[in-house]
Amino acid sequence: MNVRGIDQAVLWLQAYAAWEARWDGFLRHRTYAKTHVARPSGVSDDQQWWYTHRDLRKTRGLFRRLIANNHLFTWIDPELTDDDHPLQRTTSPLEGGPNKAIKDLFRTHRGLPVEHARRAAEWKLNSLTAEPRDLWALVRPEHYAPPRMTRRVTTEDEPLGPAMGTDFSWEDGNGLQQGWAGRSRR
């Protein structure tokens, strides 16, 4: 997180390559299957061995892919940035801004149908822009006459919910109770 320029990025990549060379043998350690010994999740029953330090190997693979695809230090890449428009190092500004606003919207209005939720997100993002469009510009002709939800009509013979075990029973302790939480007041 302390890399600020290309020179520091090169030094970090050199230090990472030295770390990989130093710990390569350690990351090749294997664990062999034994009877009555629990296997880690993701290891099948027919595997004879697996790498001991699987999580560390996954992290190494992540760094290898980031480095190979030139995604690790994008905020200092001269092809993507200039002095007038520097890139942010993290996506943290998004977490407190539009993403949080949309999450709060959906938390407040739980259970929206999918299409309604999409329109609500469009409205929220529009309201957060520097120059929001007129809200009526977001309305399309199909919104004037949305398809009606049809109610399902049940017959007398068809129960509305589960039929077994839903009756009132004194044996369940559902009788009249006195006092707070079944205790009498004294």
Task: Please write the tens of the pLDDT for every residue from 105-157.
Answer: 999 998 888 888 988 898 898 888 888 888 888 778 877 777 776 666 666 66
Domain residues for the domain of 63 are 6-76
Among the candidates 76, 102, 130, a domain finishes at 76
Number of domains in the chain: 2
Place of tokens 């959906």: 106
Among the candidates 140, 155, 174, a domain finishes at 140
Q: DSSP 3-state assignment of 76? A: helix
Residues near 12 by beta carbon (within 8 Å), at least 6 away in sequence: 3
The reply to whether the predicted model has a pTM over 0.75 is no
DSSP lists the bridge partners of residue 32 as 49
In a domain, 182, yes or no: no
For the segment 70-92, what is each residue's pLDDT rounded down to a tens digit?
888 888 887 777 777 777 777 67
In a domain, 101, yes or no: yes
